Amino acid sequence: MFDAIVIDKDDDGQRVTVKPVAFPELTDGDVAVDVAWTTLNYKDALAITGSSPVVRSFPMVPGIDFAGVVAESRHPDYVPGDRVVLNGWGVGEKHWGGLARRAQVKGDWLVALPAGISLRQAMAIGTAGYTAMLCLMALEAQGLPPEAGEVVVTGASGGVGSVATALLAARGYRVAAVTGRREEADYLGRLGAATIVDRAELSDKARPLNKERWAGAVDVVGGTVLSNVLSMMKYRGVVAACGLAGGMDLPTSVAPFILRGVTLRGVDSVMCPKPERSVAWQRLAEELDMRLLESMVTEVPFERVPETAPLFLEGKVRGRMIVPLS
Where along the sequence are the contacts to ligand NDP (CB under 6 A)? 41-43, 127-128, 131, 155-161, 179-181, 199, 220-221, 225, 242-246, 267-270, 312, 315, 317
CB of residue 207 to ligand NDP, shortest distance in Å: 19
CB of residue 317 to ligand NDP, shortest distance in Å: 5
Closer to ligand NDP by Cβ: residue 30 or 65: 65
**Are 64 and 46 contacting, i.e. CB atoms less than 8 angstroms apart?**
no
The set of residues, in sequence order, having a beta carbon less than 8 Å from that of 191 and lying 6+ positions away, is 162, 165, 166, 169, 177, 292, 295, 296
Residue whose beta carbon is closest to ligand NDP: 158
Closer to ligand NDP by Cβ: residue 149 or 222: 222
Closer to ligand NDP by Cβ: residue 86 or 267: 267
Closer to ligand NDP by Cβ: residue 30 or 44: 44
Query: Alpha-carbon dihedral of residues 188, 191, 192, 193, nearest 10 degrees?
Result: -20
Closer to ligand NDP by Cβ: residue 144 or 220: 220
Q: How many other C-beta atoms lie within 10 A of the C-beta of residue 195? A: 14
CB of residue 260 to ligand NDP, shortest distance in Å: 24
Closer to ligand NDP by Cβ: residue 268 or 303: 268
Closer to ligand NDP by Cβ: residue 185 or 255: 185
The C-alpha atoms of residue 195 and residue 201 are separated, in whole angstroms, by: 13
- 211: exposed, middle or buried (Cβ count in 10 Å: 0-12, 13-18, 19+): exposed
Enclosing H/E stretch for 9: strand 2-10
CB of residue 237 to ligand NDP, shortest distance in Å: 20
CB of residue 202 to ligand NDP, shortest distance in Å: 8
- Helical pair 119-141 and 159-170, crossing angle rounded to 10 deg: 70
Integer angstrom CA distances of residue 131 from 163, 225, 303: 9, 19, 27
CB of residue 211 to ligand NDP, shortest distance in Å: 21
The C-alpha atoms of residue 320 and residue 67 are separated, in whole angstroms, by: 15
3-class secondary structure, 235: strand
Enclosing H/E stretch for 136: helix 119-141
CB of residue 171 to ligand NDP, shortest distance in Å: 19
